[in-house]
C-alpha cells in the first residue's frame, strides 16, 4: 500500500501495489566462453590508397597545385614584360633637364653641387712606408704644395733617408754603395778622395725636397756653419741612390790640376756659369767674344776663371738662353773647357762645348 498526499488539496490517496505475473524464464543454453584475441588484425585494402583518399591530404594537394600555377604565371608575365619593354632614354643632368627641347644648356644652368660645397684638396697628411733596402719604417709628411701625391711624398722621404746615410758614411768605400752608376763612379771617387778630405760629412739638416724630372728628387743639404749644397737622388729598380758626381761637382780631372797643367785638350767639368766682362790677352776683343765666369765646387777655395766663346756660335746662344731662364743669373752646366796654346795665365779658357744644362748626367 502506497499512500501519497497532494500538497495543495491535502487529499490523501492510496494505491495498492500488486505483484505481476512474470513470464517464465526461458531456459538458455550454455554459451561457450569467448576469449579476446590480442593479435594485430590487418586492415583491408592498400595503405597508400587509403592515405591518398584522405580528405585532408586531397585538399592540401589541391592548394599546392593552385599556388604553383600562380607563381608560374607571374614568372612568365615578368619575362614577357622584360622583352617587350622599350629601352630607357639616356640619363640627363639636372641642368640639361631644365633646358627646353632643342636648346643647348647655358653656363647659367644650376649645377647639382654649388661651388661652395666643393671640398678643398687635401694638402696635409702623412704616409708610412718602408724604403727599398731598409728595414725601418719611415714617415713622409706633405709639404703643402699643389699636386703632392703619396708617391712623390714617398720618393722625397726615401731620398732624405738614403742621403742621410750617404753623408754619415765613414769613408768613400761605404759611400760608394749608395751612389748611382757605382761601377763607373767608384774609381772616380777613389781619385777624388785621395786629394780631398774623406769621412763623414757633418751637416745640420735636410731642407726643401722637390721633384726633379722623372725618377729624380732634389734635396738641399745645410752644413754646419750655414753652407748649402744641392743633392740629387735617383729612384730606380735598385732603390734610391745619390748622384755623387753632381753632389761634388766632379769633372774629368781635378780643377787645380787642369789650371796648373793648362790642358789644351777639351776636358769635361761641372761649373756654375754667370755673365762676366773680363777681356785681356788673346781674349781682349769684346766685340767678337762673350765672357762668362766659371766656378766649381769640387775643391774648397777653388779659383774662379773666365770662359770665352765666339758671340756668333750656337753655344753662346744656348748659354745666354739658360741665363735668361735663371732667376739668380747663375746656372749649373756641364762644359768642355780647354786652354789656348801657350796660355800666359791660368784663369782664361776657351768654352769648347756645352755638354748639357744641369749637373746630373743623363
H-run or E-run covering 177: none
Separation CA 212–CA 357 (nearest Å) = 13
CATH of domain 126-248: 3.10.450
pLDDT of 110: 41
CB 344 within 8 A of CB 281: yes
Separation CA 231–CA 248 (nearest Å) = 9
pLDDT of 45: 62
Confidence of residue 246 (pLDDT cuts 50, 70, 90): very high
**Taking the CB of residue 241, how many other CB atoms lie within 10 A of it?**
22
Confidence of residue 11 (pLDDT cuts 50, 70, 90): low
Question: Is the pLDDT assigned to residue 329 strictly greater than 70?
Answer: yes
Higher pLDDT, 152 or 103: 152
- Per-residue pLDDT, averaged over 243-267, amounts to 93
User: What's the topology of domain 255-357?
Assistant: OB fold (Dihydrolipoamide Acetyltransferase, E2P) (2.40.50)
Higher pLDDT, 131 or 255: 255
pLDDT, tens digit, for every residue of 197-225?
Answer: 899 998 888 887 888 778 888 998 988 87
CA 25 remoteness from chain centre:
119
Helix, strand or coil for residue 85? coil
Predicted structure pTM score:
0.57
Question: Is the pLDDT assigned to residue 73 strictly greater than 60?
Answer: yes
pLDDT of 223: 86
Question: Is the pLDDT assigned to residue 7 strictly greater than 70?
Answer: no
Task: Identify which of 306, 301, 265 has the alpha carbon closest to the alpha carbon of residue 284.
Answer: 306
pLDDT of 143: 46
Mean pLDDT of the chain: 78
pLDDT of 259: 94
CB 275 within 8 A of CB 329: yes
Residue 350: burial class (beta carbons within 10 Å; 0-12, 13-18, 19+): buried
pLDDT of 25: 56
Grid cell digits, residue 143: 709639404
Over the Cα atoms of the chain, what is R_g? 55
What would the DSSP string read from start to end of 251-298? -SS-HHHHHHHT--S-EEEEEEEEE----BTTB--TTTEEEEEEE-SS
Q: Do domains 126-248 and 255-357 have the same CATH topology?
A: no
Task: Identify which of 330, 332, 290 has the alpha carbon closest to the alpha carbon of residue 310.
Answer: 290
Q: What residues does each domain of the chain span?
A: 126-248, 255-357
Question: Is the pLDDT assigned to residue 152 strictly greater than 70?
Answer: yes
pLDDT of 114: 40
Lowest mean pLDDT among 127-131, 188-192, 287-291: 127-131
pLDDT, tens digit, for every residue of 260-298?
Answer: 999 999 999 999 999 999 999 999 899 999 999 999 998
Lowest mean pLDDT among 9-13, 91-95, 163-167, 221-225: 91-95
Separation CA 172–CA 75 (nearest Å) = 81
H-run or E-run covering 51: helix 47-52
pLDDT of 57: 80
Amino acid at each position: 500500500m502506497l499512500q501519497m498526499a497532494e500538497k495543495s488539496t491535502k487529499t490523501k490517496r492510496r494505491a495498492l501495489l500488486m505483484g505481476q505475473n512474470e513470464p517464465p524464464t526461458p531456459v538458455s543454453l550454455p554459451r561457450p566462453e569467448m576469449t579476446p584475441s590480442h593479435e594485430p588484425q590487418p586492415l583491408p585494402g592498400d595503405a597508400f590508397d587509403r592515405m591518398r583518399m584522405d580528405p585532408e591530404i586531397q585538399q592540401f594537394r589541391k592548394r599546392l597545385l593552385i599556388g604553383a600555377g600562380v607563381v608560374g604565371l607571374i614568372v612568365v608575365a615578368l619575362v614577357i614584360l622584360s622583352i617587350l619593354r622599350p629601352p630607357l632614354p639616356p640619363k640627363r643632368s639636372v641642368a640639361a633637364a631644365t633646358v627646353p627641347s632643342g636648346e643647348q644648356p647655358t653656363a647659367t644652368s644650376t649645377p647639382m653641387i654649388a661651388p661652395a660645397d666643393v671640398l678643398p684638396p687635401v694638402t696635409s697628411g702623412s704616409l708610412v712606408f718602408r724604403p727599398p733596402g731598409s728595414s725601418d719604417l719611415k714617415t713622409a709628411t706633405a709639404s703643402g704644395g699643389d699636386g703632392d701625391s703619396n708617391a712623390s711624398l714617398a720618393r722625397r722621404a726615401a731620398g732624405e733617408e738614403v742621403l742621410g746615410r750617404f753623408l754619415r758614411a765613414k769613408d768613400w768605400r761605404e759611400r760608394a754603395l749608395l751612389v748611382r752608376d757605382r761601377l763607373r763612379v767608384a774609381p772616380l771617387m777613389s781619385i777624388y778622395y785621395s786629394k780631398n778630405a774623406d769621412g763623414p760629412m757633418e751637416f745640420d739638416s735636410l731642407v726643401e725636397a722637390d721633384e726633379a724630372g722623372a725618377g729624380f728628387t732634389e734635396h738641399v743639404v745645410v752644413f754646419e756653419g750655414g753652407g748649402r749644397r744641392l743633392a740629387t737622388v735617383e729612384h730606380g729598380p735598385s732603390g734610391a741612390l745619390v748622384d755623387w758626381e753632381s753632389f761634388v761637382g766632379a769633372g774629368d780631372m781635378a780643377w787645380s790640376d787642369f789650371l796648373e797643367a793648362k790642358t789644351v785638350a777639351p776636358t769635361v767639368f761641372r761649373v756654375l756659369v754667370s755673365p762676366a766682362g773680363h777681356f785681356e790677352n788673346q781674349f781682349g776683343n769684346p766685340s767678337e767674344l762673350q765672357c762668362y765666369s766659371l766656378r766649381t765646387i769640387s775643391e774648397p777655395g777653388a779659383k774662379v776663371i773666365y770662359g770665352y766663346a765666339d758671340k756668333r756660335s750656337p753655344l753662346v746662344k744656348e748659354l745666354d738662353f739658360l741665363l735668361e731662364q735663371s732667376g739668380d743669373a747663375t746656372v749649373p752646366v756641364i762644359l768642355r773647357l780647354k786652354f789656348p796654346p801657350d796660355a800666359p795665365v791660368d784663369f782664361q779658357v776657351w768654352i769648347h762645348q756645352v755638354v748639357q744644362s744641369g749637373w746630373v748626367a743623363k
